[in-house]
Structure 1
Amino acid sequence: MMILQFGAGNIGRGFMGHLFHEAGYKVVFVESNEELAHLLNRRKIYPLRILDAYKREIIDFVITDICAIYSIEKERIAVAFEEAQCVGTAVGISSYQAIAPLLAAGIRRRREKRLGPIDCYLCENDLTAHIKLKNAVWLHFDPIDQKWAEENVGFVRVSVARMVPGQRKDVGDPLLVVADAHREFPYDEKARKASPPHLPTAKAIKHFEAEFQRKIYTYNLGHAVLAYLGYLRGYQYVHEGFNDTWISNVFDGALGETAQALFQKYPKVFTPEEHAHVLKDVHVRFGNPLLQDPIVRVARDPIRKLGPSDRLIGSATFCLEQGVFPKNIALACAAALLYDYPGDPAARTLQEKLQKRGIKEVLQEVSSIPPQSPLGKRIQEEYYKLKMLRKG
């Protein structure tokens, strides 16, 4: 069995490569970083360090039976499609246009060779990833290809909750990936066209949009709350926020707001008892001191994370739609607006926008939030309060 995995970065190696290797698959990476592709190809293995939050232990693995194809090697990639049981992507939505012609060529080859259906498992933090990738691939098809792909190719979203902080500066091996121990592989059951992946932790989700929204409005939101408030408090790592009563209270309040909204919208999908296990898991894993997840990594790109449908504003508007006023999420949004880490280009751009145009215009432009709306007013109030406290 073989998976063709587009992207050999943190999620590609630290999640997909790990789970599929353990399940007996050969993992063939398609990677746009030439140096990384050649290094993986030369060594045929890479180390993975798992930091278990529940057992508080470090477990080292060696992932074997892998190889890599540099992304300009179009013919090799198309040939690999013949052998693959499934395809994975962990490249980011912005790279979909780059990989679309490679996927199209491989899919066309399967049609021409009369091979069976195949699914592409999409590990992206975007509820519409399947639509965006399909549309990008379709641009490279004629009507015959489109008809075959419509019946035989699944663009299957995956909800990835594993945390993979990436390479630490104190570690010498450039291929080492450090991750937490979360192993669940929840995927959109309705989108699948081929046989399901042979993964022990694979979970076919019937109500995927509900599950994905819970992931964004719980895991991603919680991560952002800890990061942006932790930055204001001067902490270095995400887990340190749980030792700060103020941050911990805002964190619990924000996740309580989205929990209430989730129960309102999906009363037949989620229960308070089941969701309590999810919240416990968030606390245990985000509070893992072994992970040493840097705040500046989690807080990176505040403009994107303050976008209309992303974890902060998206959570707030989701709550409002369900009749829940997101006062704690509004506070987290205000903290994100104050994120000014010098090493983050997006943070610098955000601060420049705020200085030139003011918070009202920035809320409208970046977050599509009318400044005179109840949410807009609340974010502004919290922004000025936090700004004063910071000066004091």
Structure 2
Amino acid sequence: MKNVVIVGAGKEGKGTFGDIFYENKWNITFIDKDENVINSLNEKNSYIVEALYENYNEKHIIDHYHAYLIDDYTNSYESILNADVIVLALYPEDIKEALSKLKFSLQKRIKSNYEQKLTILCGTNKNHMMSKLENFLLDDLKIEKEWYCSNVALRDMIIRRSSNSDAKDAVQLTTKIVQTLLIQSPVYFDVSKFKWFELNNNLEMMKDIKLFTYNSPHAACAYVGYKYGYQTIEEASKNKDIKTIMEACVLEAKKGILSSFEITAEELDDFVDAPKPNGEEREYITRVALDPIRKLSRNDRLTGIAMICMENNIECPNLIKAIAYGMSYDCKEDISAKKIQNLILEKGIKKAISDVIGVDEMHPIIKKIQNEYLKIR
């Protein structure tokens, strides 16, 4: 039986990757830095995933796993020693810290299990990270280069599946299963045995496209929905005005993509137009809106595609409107949102927009966002 270590036992770790590898009868080990998450998994010895497929729903009971704190070096080492796959189900800002914690286990593996192939999958929406992470492993953590080059495949992914729960340590989750997850090829395990994994040879481009077409309307819904007083994405997306903005964001994004990416309109539609799951999952606006500094940044889901549109003389009023609503997002529990509001108070809205989205203050997009922002206030 094959072995997978899932680093990060939150909603994606349990609901997406735990479910996929359990379905394929792999031995699963969860590693997390949160004691509550690990205790919850070990106390229950199982968790439930309500799977929403296109035409039906079913409950999956995930059990017979192991769960350890990342600082539990004895047990985490044992799991890393024989792992065929390590999944990093983490936010981008947490990946280097996790790899640093796993350094000891990887070095021990080199000494005691040198020849076994290892695939490390990076499960985050942020793109163009692989070379930086590879340099971090080799240069900062001093992982042996010969072993790494001969035996390790560090690969990115496109997560075309959402999983949700009421809390990170929850043992009841939902997941939407209507599309495969795309994995950068090649890898050292047999992807053909997985119904919901698919290899892709052009993953960096497709990940940008996914970010601009899936995640941009999602973020727009969160930031506009928050201002309208909604609690969940499901509620907000049913609002006529918000639905119009979301759909327009996708249309604007498609125009920008077709002007700048080597993809046909038919291929783009096939990639973007996903089937709808049978039923809805509760997705809180504060989770989708989390960390607006990252989500509004220069190359991310909203500003990235808006800039592509502007560079190609494509009007994108709804993407600009979504960015403006993101600048107005003031959830007190969101550290990133608080930083933006403080920037606005200290520097004024124009300079704050420039600082947050990473675009020169004199660029025309700044004025457009500012005008939309002033309408909101």
2:298 alignment partner in structure 1: 308
1:178 CA displacement: 2.2
Superposition pairs of residues 123-138 of structure 1, within 5 angstroms: 123-138=123-138
Gap change, CA 1:61 and 1:135, over 3 Å in 2: same
- Give me the CA root mean square deviation: 2.4
Separation in 2 of the partners of 1:84 and 1:160? Answer: 22
Distance 2:324 2:314 in 1: 18
Gaps in structure 2 of 5+ consecutive residues: none
Q: Which amino acid aligns with 1:275?
A: L
1:275 maps to 2:268: yes
Matched, 1:368 2:335: no
Counterpart of 1:232, as a letter, is: K
Cα distance in 1 between the residues matched to 2:80 and 2:167:
34
Which residue of structure 2 aligns with residue 195 of structure 1?
A: 189
Output one character per residue of 1:206-261: Cα deviation in whole Å (capped at 9) or x when no partner. Answer: 11111101111011101011111222222232133443333222222211121122
- 1:71 matched to 2:65: no
C-alpha contact (below 8 Å) 1:186/1:203 kept by paired residues: yes
State the 1:367 CA deviation.
1.2
| Alpha-carbon distance between aligned partners in 2 of 1:202 and 1:33, rounded to the nearest angstrom | 28
* 2:256 aligned with 1:261: yes
- CA separation of 1:132/1:90 partners in 2, compared to 1, >3 Å: closer, same or farther? farther
Instruction: Confirm or deny: 8 A CA contact 2:115 2:151 kept in the other structure.
Output: no
User: Is structure 2 residue 337 aligned with structure 1 residue 336?
Assistant: no
Whole-angstrom distance in 2 between the partners of 1:111 and 1:345: 39
Partner of 2:108: 109
What are the residue-to-residue correspondences of 1:377-388 with 2, within 5 Å?
377-387=367-377
After superposition, the Cα gap between the structure-2 partners of 1:49 and 1:94, relative to the gap in structure 1 and judged at 3 Å, is same
Moved more, 121-130 or 216-225: 121-130
TM-score (norm 2): 0.90
Paired residue type of 1:31: D
Do structure 1's residue 50 and structure 2's residue 51 form an aligned pair? yes
Question: For residue 217 of structure 2, what is the aligned residue in structure 1?
Answer: 222
SS at match of 1:303: helix
Q: What SS does the corresponding residue of 1:158 show, helix, strand or coil?
A: strand
Match of 1:8 in 2: 9
Evaluate the alpha carbon distance shift between residue 266 and residue 15 of structure 1 in structure 2; reply closer, same or farther with a 3 A threshold.
same
Deviation of 1:157 (Å): 0.6
- Give the C-alpha shift of residue 265 in structure 1: 2.6
1:166 touches 1:179 (CA, 8 Å); kept in 2?
Answer: no
Deviation of 1:137 after TM superposition, in Å, equals 2.2
Q: How do 1:350-361 and structure 2 match up within 5 A?
A: 350-361=340-351
Report SS of the residue matched to 2:39: helix
Matched residues in 1 for 2:173 and 2:252: separation?
Answer: 34
- Per-residue CA deviation, residues 61-111 of structure 1 (Å, 9 max, x unaligned), is 101221112111223322222321111111222222322234433333333
SS in 1 for 2:164: coil
Q: Which runs of 5+ in 1 are unaligned?
A: 388-392
Q: Cα distance 1:153–1:356, how it changes in 2: closer, same or farther (>3 A)? A: same
The structural deviation recorded for 1:337 is 1.0
Match of 2:201 in 1: 206
How has the CA–CA distance of structure 1 residues 358 and 247 changed in structure 2, closer, same or farther, with 3 Å as cutoff?
same
- Alpha-carbon distance between aligned partners in 2 of 1:296 and 1:78, rounded to the nearest angstrom: 35
Residues 77 and 102, structure 1, Cα contact 8 Å, conserved in 2: no
Query: Hey, what does 1:249 align to over in structure 2?
Result: 244
User: Deviating runs (4+, > 4 A) in structure 1?
Assistant: none
Instruction: Give the superposition deviation at 1:292.
Output: 2.7
CA positional deviation for 1:279:
4.1
| Cα distance between partner residues in 2 of 1:209 and 1:2 | 27
Query: C-alpha separation between the residues in 1 aligned to 2:83 and 2:346?
Result: 52
Structure 1: how far apart are the matches of 2:364 and 2:254?
A: 21
**Structure 1 residues 356, 120: CA separation in 2 closer, same or farther (over 3 Å shift)?**
same
Question: What amino acid does structure 2 have at the position aligned with 1:333?
Answer: I
- Scaled by the length of structure 1, what TM-score is found? 0.87
Q: Give the 3 Å change call, closer, same or farther, for CA 235–322 of structure 1 in structure 2.
A: same
1:390 — aligned with what? Answer: none
Q: 2:84 is matched with which residue?
A: 85
Residues in 2 aligned to 1:5 and 1:207: alpha-carbon distance in whole angstroms: 25
User: How far apart, CA to CA, are the structure 1 residues paired with 2:367 and 2:351?
Assistant: 13
**Residue type matched to 1:19 in 2?**
I
Alpha-carbon offset, residue 316 of structure 1 = 1.4
**Pair 1:51–1:107, CA change in 2 (3 A):** same
CA contact (8 A) 2:179 2:274 kept: no
Q: Which of 324, 329, 340 is equivalent to 2:314?
A: 324
Classify 1:153/1:313 alpha carbon distance in 2 versus 1 (closer, same or farther; 3 Å): same
Give the percent of matched residue pairs that are identical in Structure 1 and Structure 2: 23
Q: CA deviation at 1:382?
A: 1.1
Partner of 2:165: 166
Check the 8 A contact 2:89/2:122 in 1, yes or no: yes
Whether the aligned pair in 1 keeps the contact of 2:327 and 2:373 (CA below 8 Å) is yes
Q: What is the alpha-carbon distance in structure 2 between the residues aligned to residue 58 and residue 195 of structure 1?
A: 29
Q: How many residues align structurally?
A: 373
Separation (CA, whole Å) in 2 of partners of 1:178 and 1:167: 10
Matches within 5 A, 1:177-188: 177-188=173-184
- Residues 159 and 212 in structure 1, CA contact (< 8 A), matched pair in contact too: yes
